[in-house]
Structure formats: structure tokens, C-alpha cells
């Protein structure tokens, strides 16, 4: 479904990603963790072409993301992405947030889009808030809207960039619950997160990054029981203490 081979990227002389390779099969859930600044956000932004790469190849659903001939908009329409800061459109109602890309990008009718939008709002438990504006919702609610907005496009896979790290602790679980549900339904997911409880529950594999390298790419059990690298061990012991 998603394959990265020897992906490298630099900003000027600063190397953000070095030789990153991995493979994600349909229905797999991959958790990516690592210290801040290690390139996690950059890596998943490369998957839908929000960031360009200088070397290597990224293939999503058989389409080469870094091929200049690829219609990136078309590909992104079916790769859902959820951001740390929600990035809902503040000048639109919640429902319009869910409909705008359905109508303007996928060409669905307004009714069809609203129908789908309301179903997904219901799914994330927010159908009563359809007419509100994002600013009137709590962080956890906004992030659930953002997930619903991505799902409304019928994505073939979902990318999450620290979806809970901007949230107050008491709101983390409402978002994680939605994500667990998605994972259990078989959605292909790449999730940057430090929520190890989530990883233990639904991840197939865990990737550990440091300084732009993929240091560890292991099954969940291997990662938690016997991380090979010292840096992953240190990292794990640090975050599991908290």
C-alpha cells in the first residue's frame, strides 16, 4: 500500500531524512515515534507529497509520489491526513469543513456531501455540533472533526501527525478511541505519536526514528520487549516513566 525506499531529504545543507525505507501493507497500523526534531513529521508529509524528497522513491497505492508527472492533488484526495493543530478551516461551519473538499475536489453534490458528512460526525460523536464553528469546540472535539473531515474523502489510508499532543490530557482518549476504532476496522494507518498505550493496543509495527534515520522498524512485541538499539531503549524508558 505504502512503500518508501531509501528516501532522503535535506533543507539546504541540513539532512532531515537519510535513507528511510519501510513498507506498509493494506490494513496495517504503523506507529512512528522518536525524539522531537528527528524527522517524523517530515517523513509522513513526504508520503502524501506535502514535502518533496531529493532521493529515493515513495509509492502509495501503486503511484509514485515523487514522480513529477503524478497528479498529487488527485492522490492526496484519497490519503487522509490529521495534523497536530487540527487545521480545521475556522471560517466555515463544522459541516462545511467536512463538505468543502467532497464537493470541490471529488465533485459530489451538496446533498451527498452533507449526508456523508453528517454520518461521519455521528460516528465521531459530534452530530449535534454540525452547525457550530471550529472555534466553539474543544480541542478534542476539533480533532475528531478533523478525523471525520479526512474520512469523508473515503481515504485509502490515513496519516496522523501527533494527533493528541496539542490536547489537554483529559481529551486525549476521546481522540484515541476514534483512532482505535478506525484501526480495528482495518484502516491502513501511519501514526506519529508518543501514546504507547495506543501502540500496544492496535499497532502492527513500531518505527523509531532519530536524526532522520529509521533506527528501528520492528513488530510491536519486539519493539516493546527487546528494542535492539540503545537509543530506542533510552527513549522507551523515558516516555514509559511518564
Partner 1 sequence: MYEFDWSSIIPALPFLGSGMVLTLKITVVAITVGIVWGTLLALMRLSGIKLLSLFATGYINLFRSIPLVLVLLWFFLLVPSLLSNLFNIPRSSDTRLVSAMVAFALFEAAFYSEIIRSGISSVSRGQFAAAHALGMSYAQAMRLVILPQAFRNMVPLLLTQGIILFQDTSLVYVSSLADFFGTAYKVGDRDGRLVELLLFAGAVYFIICFSASLLVKHYQKRKAI
Ligand X SMILES: Nc1ncnc2c1ncn2[C@@H]1O[C@H](COP(=O)(O)OP(=O)(O)O)[C@@H](O)[C@H]1O
The one of partner 1, Mg ion, ligand X, none whose footprint includes residue 37, by CB under 5 to 8 A per kind, is: ligand X
The one of ligand X, partner 1, Mg ion, none whose footprint includes residue 32, by CB under 5 to 8 A per kind, is: none
Q: Answer yes or no whether residue 87 interacts with partner 1 by CB under 8 A.
A: yes
- Quick one: 133 or 224, whose CB is closer to partner 1? 133
* Cβ–Cβ under 8 Å, residues 82 and 150: yes
DSSP bridge partners of 8: 55
DSSP secondary structure, 68-107, as one string: TTS-HHHHHTTEEEE-TT----TTS-HHHHHHHHHHHTS-
Separation CA 202–CA 31 (nearest Å): 9
Residues 129-148 close enough to bind partner 1 by CB under 8 A:
none
Separation CA 205–CA 161 (nearest Å): 16
Give the shortest CB-106-to-partner 1 separation in angstroms: 8
Q: Coil, strand, or helix at residue 161?
A: strand
Give the shortest CB-63-to-partner 1 separation in angstroms: 13
What is the pattern of x (binds Mg ion, CB under 5 A) and - over residues 24-43? -----------------x--
H-helix or E-strand spanning residue 111: helix 110-123
Residues 99-118 close enough to bind partner 1 by CB under 8 A:
100-101, 104-106
Residues 14-73 close enough to bind ligand X by CB under 6 A:
14, 16, 34, 36-42
- The CA-based diameter of the chain, rounded to the nearest angstrom, is 55
Residue ranges binding Mg ion (CB under 5 A)? 41
Residue ranges binding ligand X (CB under 6 A)? 11, 14, 16, 34, 36-42
Amino acid at each position: 500500500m505504502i512503500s518508501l525506499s531509501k528516501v532522503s531529504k535535506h533543507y539546504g545543507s541540513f539532512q532531515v531524512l537519510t535513507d528511510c525505507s519501510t513498507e506498509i501493507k493494506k490494513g496495517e497500523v504503523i506507529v512512528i515515534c522518536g525524539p522531537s526534531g528527528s524527522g517524523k513529521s517530515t517523513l509522513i508529509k513526504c508520503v502524501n507529497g506535502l514535502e518533496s524528497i531529493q532521493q529515493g522513491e515513495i509509492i502509495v497505492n501503486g503511484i509514485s509520489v515523487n514522480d513529477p508527472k503524478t497528479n498529487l492533488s488527485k492522490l492526496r484526495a484519497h490519503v487522509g491526513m490529521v495534523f497536530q493543530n487540527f487545521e480545521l478551516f475556522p471560517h466555515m461551519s463544522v459541516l462545511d469543513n467536512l463538505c468543502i473538499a467532497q464537493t470541490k475536489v471529488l465533485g459530489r453534490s451538496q446533498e451527498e456531501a452533507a449526508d456523508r458528512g453528517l454520518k461521519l460526525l455521528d460516528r465521531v460523536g459530534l452530530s449535534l455540533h454540525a452547525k457550530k464553528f471550529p472555534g466553539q469546540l474543544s480541542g478534542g472535539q476539533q480533532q475528531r472533526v478533523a478525523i471525520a473531515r479526512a474520512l469523508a474523502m473515503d481515504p485509502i489510508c490515513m496519516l496522523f501527525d501527533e494527533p493528541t499532543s496539542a490536547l489537554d490530557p483529559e481529551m486525549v482518549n476521546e481522540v484515541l478511541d476514534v483512532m482505535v476504532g478506525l484501526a480495528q476496522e482495518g484502516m491502513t494507518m501511519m501514526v506519529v505519536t508518543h501514546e504507547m498505550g495506543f501502540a500496544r493496543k492496535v499497532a502492527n509495527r513500531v518505527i523509531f526514528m532519530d536524526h532522520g534515520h529509521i533506527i528501528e522498524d520492528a513488530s510491536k512485541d519486539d519493539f516493546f520487549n527487546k528494542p535492539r538499539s540503545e537509543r530506542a531503549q533510552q527513549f522507551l524508558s523515558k516516555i514509559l516513566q511518564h
